[in-house]
């Protein structure tokens, strides 16, 4: 899996950063899930290596413009390109009205199946390979962070051992790979779980919406392989940041440290910061949590 940052700015685009959009690519399946869709996200998408035909789901954290104004354009362009793959959009109450109103008033439509799901805190989906849970954030409007958990992968089936014990190959091998029990024609019962190697631990990615400090942050980011957190302002501006439902460099890094996250990627930077400020902001984060990296537009991070 990997994360592609299509926009890393807060509030408004700047000459150096577009507004928020983060793509999670599920490499084995090739699917892409988009988290937030700020203005001009489709332009950023085209400038990246991502494929529009692989965009399967969009998760919206909240309804502020810098996180949703790119949706109407992206949806209609996808339709005009003749892409017919279905799409599902998840977001807080009001996301359905926003999308349907924008499409209706502009005389637009989607030529592909579009499902819009308004969420609450709790499990959003479980497709058998990934589970997504929404956590309420501390922002000035209803806002969520998303925890994406990959289910553990079963260990490899010990085919040589099965062969040595006289278990013939057949369609039942798939059941054995899933740890199920089968019964052979000679009456023997084989327990697949006894022939599997150690399971591979699934990855966990925590993607925060806009938020000030909140107790649920530690649950959202607990033992995450990668935690993506906003760092709108520098440490000295904590009062200003928190008053607007945002976090500072130190506050975000403290979440990663206390939650036991393996890595933190900082994003959602105020337009007041330019390229020359990056080193200072990174140093502030790393003074609390060393395994911190700063996102930039079009940066790709392997998970």
**Phi/psi-derived region of residue 286, left when phi > 0, alpha when psi is between -120 and 50, beta in every other case:** alpha
151 in a known ligand binding site: no
**Quick count: other Cβ atoms within 10 Å of Cβ 239?**
10
Q: Assess contact for 2 and 33: CB atoms under 8 A.
A: no
Element (H, E) at 66: helix 65-68
127 in a known ligand binding site: no
Q: Assess contact for 96 and 118: CB atoms under 8 A.
A: yes
Catalytic hit among 66, 126, 152, 158: 66
277 in a known ligand binding site: no
For residue 27, what are the CA distances in angstroms to 1, 50, 296, 302?
5, 11, 21, 10
Q: How, if at all, do strands 21-26 and 31-35 pair?
A: antiparallel
**Quick count: other Cβ atoms within 10 Å of Cβ 14?**
17
* Residue tagged 């949806």 (tokens): 75
Q: Measure the CA angle with vertex 90, ends 233 and 126; round to 5°.
A: 110
Tokens found for residue 258:
């206390």
67 in a known ligand binding site: yes
Q: Measure the CA–CA gap between 181 and 116, rounded to whole angstroms.
A: 39
Q: Measure the CA–CA gap between 15 and 63, rounded to whole angstroms.
A: 24
Annotation says 158 is catalytic: no
139 in a known ligand binding site: yes
Q: Measure the CA–CA gap between 211 and 64, rounded to whole angstroms.
A: 13
Task: Report the binding-site residues for Zn(2+).
Answer: 62, 64, 66-67, 139, 210, 268
Q: Which residues are tagged catalytic?
A: 66
Q: Which segments are annotated as binding site?
A: 62, 64, 66-67, 139, 210, 268
């Amino acid at each position: 899996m990997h994360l592609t940052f299509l926009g890393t700015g807060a509030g408004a685009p700047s000459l150096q950063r577009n507004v928020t959009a983060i793509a999670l690519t599920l490499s084995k399946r090739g699917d892409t899930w988009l988290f937030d869709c700020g203005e001009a996200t489709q332009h950023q998408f085209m400038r990246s290596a991502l494929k529009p035909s692989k965009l399967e789901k969009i998760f919206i954290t909240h309804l502020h413009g810098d996180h949703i104004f790119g949706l109407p354009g992206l949806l209609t362009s996808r339709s005009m390109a003749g892409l017919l793959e279905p799409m599902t959009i998840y977001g807080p109450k009001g996301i359905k009205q926003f999308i349907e109103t924008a499409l209706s008033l502009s005389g637009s439509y989607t030529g592909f199946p579009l499902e819009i799901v308004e969420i609450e805190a709790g499990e959003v989906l479980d497709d058998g390979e990934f589970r997504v849970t929404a956590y309420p954030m501390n922002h000035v409007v209803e806002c969520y962070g998303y925890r994406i958990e990959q289910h553990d992968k079963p260990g490899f089936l010990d085919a040589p051992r099965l062969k040595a014990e006289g278990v013939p190959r057949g369609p039942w091998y798939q059941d054995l790979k899933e740890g199920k029990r089968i019964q052979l024609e000679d009456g023997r019962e084989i327990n697949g779980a006894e022939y599997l190697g150690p399971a591979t631990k699934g990855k966990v990615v925590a993607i925060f919406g806009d938020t000030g400090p909140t107790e649920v942050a530690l649950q959202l980011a607990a033992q995450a392989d990668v935690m993506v957190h906003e760092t709108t302002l520098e440490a000295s501006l904590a009062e200003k940041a928190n008053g607007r439902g945002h976090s500072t460099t130190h506050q975000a890094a403290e979440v990663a440290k206390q939650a036991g996250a393996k890595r933190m990627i900082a994003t959602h930077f105020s337009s007041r910061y330019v390229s020359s400020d990056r080193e200072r902001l990174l140093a502030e984060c790393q003074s609390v949590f060393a395994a911190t990296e700063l996102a930039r537009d079009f940066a790709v991070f392997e998970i």
